[in-house]
Amino acid sequence: MTKLKGAVVGYGFISGKGHIPAFQKRNDVEIVAVADICEARRELAKKALPEARIYDSYETLLATEKHLDFLDIATPPCDHAKIAVAALKHGLHVLCEKPLAPSTADAKAMLLAAKENERVLFPCHNYKHAPVVKLIEETIRSGEIGEVTGVTLQTFRNTHAKGVPEWRTDWRRDFKTSGGGIAMDHGSHTFYLTFSWLGSLPTEVTAKSLRLNPEWDTEDNLSCVLTYPGGKFAHSYLSWTAGMRKVIYTVQGTKGGILVNDDEAEISIGFPNTGSHAGTGDHRVIKQTIESDWMDASHTKWFNSMFDKFLKAIAGNDFTNSEIRESYMCVEIIEKSYASGAQGSQLKALDGSFSFLK
Ligand SMILES: NC(=O)c1ccc[n+]([C@@H]2O[C@H](COP(=O)([O-])OP(=O)(O)OC[C@H]3O[C@@H](n4cnc5c(N)ncnc54)[C@H](O)[C@@H]3O)[C@@H](O)[C@H]2O)c1
């Protein structure tokens, strides 16, 4: 089998603990080069990938490596756009960590570069690949809970995620590097799940953000409501000051509902919203434990099926695929959530037309 040749930019937490260990277990891909601006991280990259060529900048990597198929971007968000656009212009497919970019202007430039250079741009939307999230998806598709009318997604953390200690471990709280706080860091995972569960992109957002820790210039809590066609809605609450690490998701349908609390899933079937509290004659509540490794922030086990989708997009010449459009929409929601929060939670319209790609 001819192996796809890839290079990684940013040998930090997610690439070191998540992407590269997953690549190393695959027989269809080979990581031949790594670029990192931090010398200590380059040393560690050399140890992890002794055969790979190691560079101190993505520019040198792109100028030197002549036989690459794709570039995997795992740097902080502030540099995603310039690295992705350069790689796409070099004729490489690009896998990019979330958030796609800190602004819609950057994200737009990335999608346009994918279109113009006819190369795939694909986001790391790995939460879709968590086993318990797949169960939610399958239950909705089965029709057992009826039509989904609302969802809630809560992500609780007791701190911001830390980057590797050799570089700038607290970059997520520094606006210039991250582009925002928890909404920028975690919002994408929440928002792309709502698109799938509610079956469309949202049309409006209203939000409120808080900065309980005044040491940093980014928010540590965000509460927002997204409106979907037909008046459906998603409520999401993200916190870095919650005193716990946990995800709690609920899905409300016309005939039943789903509750997920980390690995615990509870599916209620046969409880139509027009019926009695007791449910219909054949109502039931199914409780399951689906090991999903939520506590492992590298989410390496979720990587393979996500990477398979990237390969499928490459095989289908799906340059500005639905996942990258969702990724763009996540950036727009984050940007407009900040604008809404700054204006007393004013309702902001979202534009899901992608007219700039037409
Ligand atoms: N999908 C997920 O579940 C998930 C989980 C963690 C992180 N992430 C994302 O991955 C990205 C990286 O996060 P992390 O936690 O691995 O950060 P990190 O701080 O651990 O690693 C970043 C690495 O990038 C290097 N770097 C910084 N700027 C660079 C540049 N311009 N060129 C080359 N190297 C550069 C640093 O030296 C460091 O080694 C972020 O976008 C983050 O949101 C995603």
Distance from the CA of 99 to the center of ligand 1, in angstroms?
11
For residue 306, what pLDDT is reported?
96
Determine if ligand 1 sits within 6 Å of the CB of residue 41.
Answer: yes
For residue 57, what pLDDT is reported?
98
Q: Which residue in 143, 181, 151, 121 sits closest to 326, CA to CA?
A: 121
Distance from the CA of 242 to the center of ligand 1, in angstroms?
24
* Cβ neighbours for 207, distance < 8 A, ≥ 6 positions apart: 183, 222, 223, 224, 225, 336, 337, 338, 340, 341, 345
What confidence tier does 272 reach under pLDDT thresholds 50, 70, 90?
confident
Domain ranges of the chain: 4-125+301-321, 127-292+332-349
Distance from the CA of 76 to the center of ligand 1, in angstroms?
5
Nearest CA to ligand 1 atom 40: 76
Determine if ligand 1 sits within 6 Å of the CB of residue 37.
Answer: yes
**pLDDT tens profile 9-50:** 999 999 999 999 999 999 999 999 999 999 999 999 999 999
Distance from the CA of 168 to the center of ligand 1, in angstroms?
10
Determine if ligand 1 sits within 6 Å of the CB of residue 164.
Answer: yes
Distance from the CA of 79 to the center of ligand 1, in angstroms?
10
What confidence tier does 282 reach under pLDDT thresholds 50, 70, 90?
confident
Determine if ligand 1 sits within 6 Å of the CB of residue 36.
Answer: yes
Distance from the CA of 281 to the center of ligand 1, in angstroms?
52
Beta partners for 247?
155
For residue 2, what pLDDT is reported?
87
pLDDT at 279 over 90: no
Length of the chain: 358
Calculate ∠ Cα 83-84-90, nearest 5°: 95
Q: Which regions of 63-157 does DSSP assign to beta strands (E)?
A: 70-73, 93-96, 121-123, 148-156
The single residue listed with the structure tokens 């239950």 is 139
Cα separation, 209 vs 324, in Å, equals 26
What confidence tier does 275 reach under pLDDT thresholds 50, 70, 90?
low
Cα separation, 191 vs 326, in Å, equals 9
- Strands 53-55, 29-35: pairing kind: parallel
For residue 338, what pLDDT is reported?
98
**pLDDT tens profile 84-109:** 999 999 999 999 999 999 999 999 99
In a 10 Å sphere around its CB, with 0-12 CB exposed, 13-18 middle and 19+ buried, how is residue 25 labelled?
Answer: exposed
The CATH fold of domain 127-292+332-349: Dihydrodipicolinate Reductase; domain 2 (3.30.360)
Determine if ligand 1 sits within 6 Å of the CB of residue 9.
Answer: yes
Cα separation, 224 vs 239, in Å, equals 12
pLDDT at 222 over 90: yes
For residue 258, what pLDDT is reported?
98
Cα separation, 69 vs 64, in Å, equals 14
Give me the mean pLDDT over the 283-288 stretch: 93
**pLDDT tens profile 139-149:** 999 999 999 99
Distance from the CA of 15 to the center of ligand 1, in angstroms?
7
Give me the mean pLDDT over the 272-301 stretch: 82
Q: How far apart are the first and last CA of the chain?
A: 37
Determine if ligand 1 sits within 6 Å of the CB of residue 163.
Answer: yes
What confidence tier does 304 reach under pLDDT thresholds 50, 70, 90?
very high
CATH class assigned to 4-125+301-321? alpha beta
Cα separation, 130 vs 297, in Å, equals 12
Q: Which of 19, 75, 80, 122 to mutate to test the pocket of ligand 1 (most atoms within 8 A of CB)?
A: 75
Residues of the chain above pLDDT 90, percent: 92
For residue 175, what pLDDT is reported?
98
Give me the mean pLDDT over the 60-81 stretch: 98
Cα separation, 210 vs 273, in Å, equals 35
Classify the phi-psi angles of 262: left when phi > 0, otherwise alpha if psi is within -120 to 50, otherwise beta. left
- Strands 246-253, 256-261: pairing kind: antiparallel
- Write the DSSP symbol of residue 329: H
